[in-house]
């Protein structure tokens, strides 16, 4: 299909200093949990973005010196020449597809403890480090400032030798970067020419920008990444001061990459922001400089992208999370296939790759992080190994993904679900307002399946074992999901707690169905991810009195890894939710729950109308077990395999269910041994990449 006329503006080339980007799609620097530790995994992931049409593809932040050692995070390093092979590999993968390769050089200052290098951290002034374990950063003197400028120059020269087209000077994301620390009064208490007035606090940033231009600017583009607001009021960077900073430096970089800080605000999840939410903060920048401007906003709609360009907000459409969910967004728009974009749901599971230090995953894109390790490509898949027919029982995230991937392999697929619509747990959970945008998981897959002639979908079709056998499909995938347990077994309780008044217990499924749990409700969260707090928020917005209890030291603790915890804390308190931490359910009686302190066992009684345990789930695998007990009948009906997938096999996040479904489809009758598809990176050496 031809590109839509209105979208052609997105494919205009844009000049960035001495370089030219072939279109307006720009993968901004983003962390990935791969970096220097898994370099082939990282490079292949970036290369797929370039193949998908992104005109600029950047690294994550890259430390320039061991005094900026961010261990245990496996981010990129450019400490000396021994790091060059990793960068050369990434650059080659990106440039192979005609994209510009960008690198974001950084010194993290007092935001790191230098656990591995054991060097004393440095900062504009003496201060506790961000991850303080009684470690403090020392105040930089003039010789330190001179050294930092040298490190940045040497980093830029190495980056140029590695082949990068675009080199960043990075002053954003709050406390994360030394250059931003110099800009902020709360970190910069100096009384010399690098502190005090705004002009003085900008001095080091200006010097390093100029140094970088002088060192590599004749053949590399120089970008400036800057956070225009920290959303902290008078305590942080505000747009009024940012306007002056941009005015001072307006024409010095070749490109402005602008956002808000800190990272939890910049990459705010869909639970707390809409597409393009940063526009109000960053729109002044393009009016202040003649240089091109890139910004982000979880852009997935080409019409929204065009609007940003035509209204003079941005020159480039920046993408991190959207480029993870669908690396081929540009190609799909260019080929008139915008309806096939796999839109980011804004769940921020990808950010946990950085915070937990493992290769990132994506709820929407199960191939993310598997491009090198398993050879999975987001748009290419091996064709069917036979003309076998496949039956999938269950239309949740695992079943839908399996059906879609199998249809892409050209298998004849039948998918049946007992409900009136496909979607499974996705439809249940997205009935909660905070999680509404996650419905894209099922919407994308049900739409794509509707375009396939080799897929038959049946709803309100609860198949039993005998019916499945009679259908005679060669392969059967059981994706019947799971349900939430009511015995309070979870991460804290390892044995059941029986309720003396079982009618007090209300399950999450009952909330999804719209049942009324009463006026005063306890949500007991021993799952620690998103659902407990989302149910509490949903009920509080409906006017209920909600008590949220957790045995953990804070609510929804795992959402720290998705950058949501602070926002959740604020939202629930604003809604009047009562929060009780460090307590577990001891007993459930009529109209009350007894809580026990997890440390010393002291009890407190809380009067409620009902309690909702969000603890652990039980697989719904009875159908599988029955079929497995009738294996002697399989061959008579032409059945070669029956396999559990998704939550039916092992409950987990939606991303795990999608991955399970995709893995099943990839491996079915595969020509490659699936056990061999787990390559490791133990042998990455110079000349072997």
**Number of C-beta neighbours around residue 207 at 10 A:** 15
CA angle 121, 130, 363 (to 5 degrees): 120
User: In the sheet where 520-525 sits, what is the strand order?
Assistant: 578-580, 545-549, 520-525, 610-614
Helix, strand and coil content of the chain, in percent to the nearest 5, comes to: 35, 20, 45
The one catalytic residue in 31, 62, 506, 648 is 31
Burial class (CB in 10 A: 0-12, 13-18, 19+), 302: buried
266 is catalytic: yes
The one catalytic residue in 26, 164, 168, 170 is 170
Q: Are 121 and 136 in contact (CB under 8 A)?
A: yes
**CA distances from residue 683 to 495, 677, 686 in whole angstroms, order as listed:** 45, 16, 10
Question: φ, ψ for residue 57 (rounded to 5)?
Answer: -130, 120
CA angle 16, 68, 213 (to 5 degrees): 25
SS3 7: helix
The sign of the torsion formed by the CA atoms of 679, 683, 684, 689 equals negative
CA–CA distance, 602 with 235 (Å, rounded to integer): 40
**What are the b/e assignments for 439-459, b being 16+ CB within 10 Å?**
bbbbbbbbebbeebebbebee
229 is catalytic: no
**CA distances from residue 132 to 63, 171, 235 in whole angstroms, order as listed:** 20, 21, 20
Q: Are 550 and 525 in contact (CB under 8 A)?
A: yes
Q: Are 400 and 449 in contact (CB under 8 A)?
A: yes
Residues in the chain: 689
The one catalytic residue in 69, 165, 257, 266 is 266
173 is catalytic: yes
31 is catalytic: yes
Rounded to a whole number, what is the distance in angstroms from the first to the last CA of the chain?
38
* Cα dihedral: 384, 390, 394, 395 (round 10): 50
Q: Are 419 and 442 in contact (CB under 8 A)?
A: no
The one catalytic residue in 36, 65, 87, 173 is 173
Catalytic residues: 31, 170, 173, 266
């Amino acid at each position: 299909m031809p590109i839509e006329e209105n979208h052609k503006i997105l494919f205009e080339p844009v000049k960035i200093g001495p370089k030219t980007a072939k279109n307006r799609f720009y993968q901004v620097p983003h962390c990935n949990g791969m970096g220097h530790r898994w370099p082939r995994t990282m490079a292949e992931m970036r290369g797929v973005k370039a193949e998908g049409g992104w005109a600029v593809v950047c690294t994550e932040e890259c430390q320039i010196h061991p005094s900026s050692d961010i261990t245990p995070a496996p981010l990129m390093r450019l400490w000396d020449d021994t790091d060059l092979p990793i960068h050369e590999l990434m650059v080659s993968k990106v440039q192979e597809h005609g994209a510009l390769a960008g690198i974001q050089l950084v010194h993290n200052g007092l935001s790191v403890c230098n656990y591995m290098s054991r060097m004393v951290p440095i900062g504009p002034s003496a201060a506790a480090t961000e991850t303080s374990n009684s470690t403090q950063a020392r105040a930089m003197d003039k010789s330190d400032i001179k050294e930092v400028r040298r490190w940045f120059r040497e980093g830029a020269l190495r980056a140029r030798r590695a082949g990068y087209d675009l080199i960043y000077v990075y002053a954003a994301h709050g406390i994360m970067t030394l250059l931003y620390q110099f800009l902020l009064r709360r970190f910069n208490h100096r009384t010399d020419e690098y502190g005090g007035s705004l002009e003085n606090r900008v001095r080091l940033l200006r010097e390093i920008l100029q140094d970088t231009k002088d060192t590599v600017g004749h053949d590399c583009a120089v970008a400036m990444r800057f956070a225009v607001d920290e959303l902290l009021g008078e305590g942080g960077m505000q747009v009024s001061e940012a306007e002056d900073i941009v005015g001072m430096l307006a024409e010095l970089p070749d490109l402005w990459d602008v956002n808000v800080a800190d990272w939890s605000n910049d990459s705010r999840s869909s639970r707390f922001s809409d597409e393009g939410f940063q526009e109000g903060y960053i729109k002044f920048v393009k009016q202040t400089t003649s240089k091109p401007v890139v910004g982000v906003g979880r852009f997935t709609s080409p019409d929204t992208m065009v609007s940003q360009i035509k209204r003079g907000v941005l020159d480039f459409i920046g993408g991190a999370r959207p480029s993870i969910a669908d690396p081929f967004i540009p190609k799909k728009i260019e080929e008139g296939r915008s309806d096939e974009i796999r839109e980011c749901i804004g769940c921020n599971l990808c950010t946990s790759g950085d915070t937990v230090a493992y290769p990132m995953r994506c709820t929407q894109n199960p191939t993310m992080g598997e491009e090198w390790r398993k050879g999975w490509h987001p748009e290419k898949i091996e064709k069917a190994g036979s003309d076998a027919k496949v039956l999938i029982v269950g239309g949740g995230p695992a079943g839908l993904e399996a059906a879609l991937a199998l249809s892409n392999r050209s298998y004849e697929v039948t998918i049946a679900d007992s409900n009136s619509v496909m979607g499974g747990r996705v439809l249940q959970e997205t009935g909660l307002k905070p999680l509404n945008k996650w419905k894209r998981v099922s919407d994308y897959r049900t739409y794509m399946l509707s375009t396939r002639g080799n897929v038959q979908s049946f709803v309100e079709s609860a198949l039993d074992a005998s019916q499945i056998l009679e259908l005679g499909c060669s392969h059967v995938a059981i994706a019947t999901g799971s349900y939430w347990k009511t015995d309070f077994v979870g991460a804290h309780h390892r044995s059941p707690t029986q309720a003396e008044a079982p009618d007090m217990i209300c399950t999450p499924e009952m909330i999804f169905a719209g049942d009324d749990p009463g006026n005063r409700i306890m949500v007991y969260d021993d799952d620690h991810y998103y659902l407990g707090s989302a149910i509490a928020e949903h009920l509080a917005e409906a006017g209920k009195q909600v008590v949220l209890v957790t045995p953990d030291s804070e609510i929804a603790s795992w959402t720290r890894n998705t950058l949501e915890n602070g926002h959740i804390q604020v939202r629930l308190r604003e809604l009047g939710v009562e929060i009780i931490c460090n307590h577990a359910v001891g007993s459930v009686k009529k109209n009350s729950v007894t809580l026990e302190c997890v440390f010393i066992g002291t009890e407190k009684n809380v009067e409620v109308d009902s309690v909702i345990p969000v603890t652990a789930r039980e697989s719904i695998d009875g159908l599988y077990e029955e079929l497995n007990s009738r294996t002697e009948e399989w061959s008579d009906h032409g059945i070669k395999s029956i396999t559990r997938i998704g939550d039916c096999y092992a409950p987990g996040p939606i991303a795990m269910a999608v991955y399970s479904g995709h893995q099943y489809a990839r491996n079915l009758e595969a020509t490659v041994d699936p056990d061999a598809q787990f390559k490791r990176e133990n042998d990455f050496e110079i000349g072997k990449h």
